[in-house]
Amino acid sequence: MSGLGVSSKRPASGSTTAVAASKQLPAAVVERVTAAIDESRDELIALVQDLVRIPSENPKLSGIADGGEARVQDRVEAALAAAGFSIDRWDAEPGRPDLVGTLKGTGGGPSLAVNGHIDVVPAGDPETWPYDPFGATIVDGMIWGRGASDMKGNVGAMIHAAVILQRLGIRLKGDLYVESVIDEETGGPGTRSTIERGYRPDFAIVTEPTGLVIYPVEGGLEWLRVTVTGVSGHSARRYRSVHAGGQGHAVNALEKGAKILAAVQDLERAWAVRKVHPLLPAGITTINPGVMAAGSGGGANGMPNIMTAVSNMPDYCSLELSLKYLPNESTADVRAEFEEYIHRVAQTDEWLREHPPTIEWGLRGVAFPPADTSPDHPGVQAIASGLTALGMPVEVGGFLAVTDIAWFAEAGIPAVIFGPAEGLGAHGADERVEIN
């Protein structure tokens, strides 16, 4: 999953609800499929090990030109092609391929995409790992290595599940798309590229590790920058600017930025009371201040050209924020609400009234739209039926991080986040996936 949010693999207390499946799967089909999966256990383990052993660090995070994603896609292609899937492979970015394997349906049924990403975050120093980060070592019933839980284990599982259906001759009415994509970890074009290429399923499952909790909703996420300008001056003459009738003309942009920051924190507290969602914990609509910088003049990257010193009154201040909003809110409405609030705050300050703050949205490309699939959607009910057939509880919750479900939602495609495993050690030096 993307490092741009925080996920509880089991949601916070009160943020899940049990649902009943609307249909029952034929017992004979369930028995055939589960028996075939049990019998091919070693095949699945070997596939996951192969995927983990191929380094595919996201080049945007690792700084290397070739993160190895193409070599992972070679292995994915081999598994799907051998089972009779038609293969479509293209570069979502130069040298970074997406891959979709298609199993055509018999007709008359809805299409389904199962989607997983094969880029991983950098492994870091191998000496900090208990085992080789790209060794896929099996210890204590777990496969250890970078990407094992996030999310090559589940990519292997979704491929293997699709292959088993084909192997058993179980024909689906609708088309099945197995999507292996790049660049999820930085919110890149992987899944969006599949949609732009024409893969628009009736329903999609993003197979991140959720512990088999169904997540049909996910809030939106925006990174933004609020910039305030002032008039520079020397601190020795500050006394001329801080009392009525003073002759100074300096305006400390850092102080004006602090006023904006305090107001943003007030807004965050108000949202925590007013904005609620039945599948998400209270207070999820956070506005986190991550960076505040002041100095002389604004550079192209939003930072001051010269960082301030205590002897100066800076004329430039930027405040970078991470803003989360509810699944049932629109991006446009949230942006408008925030901008109107900042405008009202500026009206209370003589300087800011005439020199209003500017707001830049989608900072560094981070702008994830929300996802809000109904728990009553037939796709959610179908997953519930599968869990019920296996004698497992059905839980529906709200996801706290951001994932590629955002891009399906943006395209108007109903989708959920759902997959086995618990995401053990994801992004850490103890990443592993349980063999169960």
Residue/partner pairs of 265-272 with CB below 8 Å, 24 or more apart: 265/289, 267/338, 267/341
User: For this structure, is 119 an active site residue?
Assistant: yes
Phi, psi for residue 73 in degrees, rounded to 5? -65, -30
Q: Identity (one letter) of the amino acid at 293?
A: A
DSSP 162: H
Give the start-end residues of each E strand in 78-236: 86-93, 96-103, 112-117, 137-139, 142-144, 176-181, 203-206, 214-218, 220-229, 233-234
Measure Cα distances from 96 to 66, 73, 74, 426 in Å. 8, 9, 12, 22
Residue 259 tokens read as: 């006023």
Determine the Cα–Cα distance for residues 338 and 334; give it in Å rounded to an integer.
6
Burial category of 181 from C-beta neighbours within 10 Å (exposed 0-12, middle 13-18, buried 19 and up):
buried
DSSP 148: I
Determine the Cα–Cα distance for residues 201 and 206; give it in Å rounded to an integer.
12
Element spanning 434, H or E? strand 432-434
Contacts for 288 with CB less than 8 Å, ≥ 6 apart: 321, 322, 323
Determine the Cα–Cα distance for residues 316 and 74; give it in Å rounded to an integer.
50
Determine the Cα–Cα distance for residues 67 and 93; give it in Å rounded to an integer.
12
> Of 69, 98, 119, 372, which one is the catalytic site residue?
119
Burial category of 165 from C-beta neighbours within 10 Å (exposed 0-12, middle 13-18, buried 19 and up):
middle
Determine how many CB atoms are found less than 10 A away from the CB of residue 352: 21
User: For this structure, is 184 an active site residue?
Assistant: yes
Give the start-end residues of each E strand in 273-387: 287-298, 304-307, 312-313, 316-325, 358-361, 367-368, 371-372
> Of 184, 185, 218, 320, which one is the catalytic site residue?
184
Determine the Cα–Cα distance for residues 86 and 250; give it in Å rounded to an integer.
68
Give the residue numbers annotated as catalytic, written as ranges: 119, 184
